[in-house]
Amino acid sequence: MTFLTLAVLLAGVSLAYASLSRRKALQPARIARRVYRDR
């Protein structure tokens, strides 16, 4: 698995989670951005 695949999977999961619960949609996005910036 390439880093791009992991990034795409993270984005998909965050989008799915956002669609499921719009209230906490901002939290996964922030975490994904932090992980993407750290790596």
pLDDT digits (tens, 9 = 90+) for 9-23: 999 888 887 777 666
CA distance 32 to 9: 11
CA atoms of 17 and 34, how far apart (whole Å): 17
Are 28 and 17 spatial neighbours (Cβ–Cβ below 8 Å)? yes
pTM for this model (two decimals): 0.44
> Does the structure show a pLDDT above 60 at 24?
no
pLDDT at 14: 84
Identify residue 14 by its one-letter amino acid code.
Answer: S
Contact 6, 39 (CB under 8 A): no
CA gap 38, 3 in Å, rounded: 13
Structure tokens at 19: 């669609």
